[in-house]
Amino acid sequence: MTGGADIERVRTIADLRRCIAEWRAAGLSIGLVPTMGALHEGHLALVEAAVGGCDRTIVTLFVNPAQFGPNEDFAVYPRDEDRDAGLVTRAGADLLFAPNVDEVYPPDHATQVHVSGLGDILEGEHRPGFFTGVATVVSKLLLQSLPDRAYFGEKDYQQLCVIRRLTRDLDIPVSIAGVKTVREEDGLALSSRNAYLTTAERAVAPVLHGTIAQVAEQVGRGEDPRDQAQWAIDQLRRAGFGDVDYVTVRNAETLQEAVDASLPARVLAAAWLGKARLIDNVAV
């Protein structure tokens, strides 16, 4: 069902702020859910968390060109605003902010937000410029709307860490909420890019979650994180994955190599399966 898209849609920052000013005047709290569209149950879990935690929920729909590399899928990234509008309406959101690229990045736009260190490792190393694109657009979205709380998925765990860091460093007065990863029954994390998997690849894809879940369990029992990560890489290759960009156990906050077993840790992984690059992570 895709009809009944009755949510209010705004395209400009001025209109967005007008709407928010009315809500603020009425004393209402505001939640923000940034997305690139092609929405699935994972995104809707963020919307539901915002609807449950705030009086009004804004969903943003913007395929951010700044976070795609030259050889990445910006041009073909799935876009269907009417479908997405219907989904967030039914999930209880109040406003859809869907700006054009020029509204977000006027031709003379010159400022970037770069989170050094945290944004340069793992995904940052394999996708140069990615986190600068993410950090810049998220900073702008937060400052455009100044919600009480903004919601992001643990699915993109390093992104969540980068966003927490930039809000703290730039003194942006918004609290950042992380929402648990929504998975298919077989463990595969929901992702708009799962659509790139063939039927045969889709059958192999859950091995990623299964493998890092085993690493988390073994490391939790005191096994060596590096040995476990190497085991996982071999396991993924045997299952039919192509390049494994990384499987690694890191401190859950700094994402430095987890050395202190008494601190929270996270297993993070990125691996290619056919045309799809899958990422996932679990807590130790």
Name the residues that contact ligand AMP, by CB under 6 A.
35-36, 42-43, 45-46, 152-153, 155-156, 179, 181-182, 189-192
Q: Check if the beta carbon of residue 264 is closer than 8 Å to that of residue 283.
A: yes
Pairing of strands 149-153, 95-97: unpaired
Residue 12 CB, shortest distance to ligand AMP, in Å, is: 21
CB 257 within 8 A of CB 267: no
The nearer residue to ligand AMP, 162 or 233, going by C-beta atoms, is: 162
43 is catalytic: yes
Concatenate the DSSP letters of all residues of 5-51 into one string: --SEEE-SHHHHHHHHHHHHHTT--EEEEEE-S---HHHHHHHHHHH
Quote the distance between the C-alpha of residue 121 and its chain's center: 16
Q: Which is nearer to ligand AMP, 100 or 230 (CB)?
A: 100
For residue 163, the minimal CB distance to ligand AMP (Å) is 8
The set of residues, in sequence order, having a beta carbon less than 8 Å from that of 279 and lying 6+ positions away, is 123, 155, 156, 268, 269, 270
Comparison of 28 and 190: residue with beta carbon closer to ligand AMP: 190
Catalytic residue among 43, 109, 114, 209: 43
Minimum Å gap between C-beta 258 and ligand AMP is 22
Contact of 190 with 183, CB cutoff 8 Å = yes
Pick between residue 24 and residue 187 the one whose CB is nearest to ligand AMP.
187
At 1, is the secondary structure helix, strand, or coil?
A: coil
Between 174 and 233, CB nearer to ligand AMP: 174
Find out whether 24 and 40 touch, Cβ atoms under 8 Å. no
- The residues annotated with a catalytic role in the active site are 43
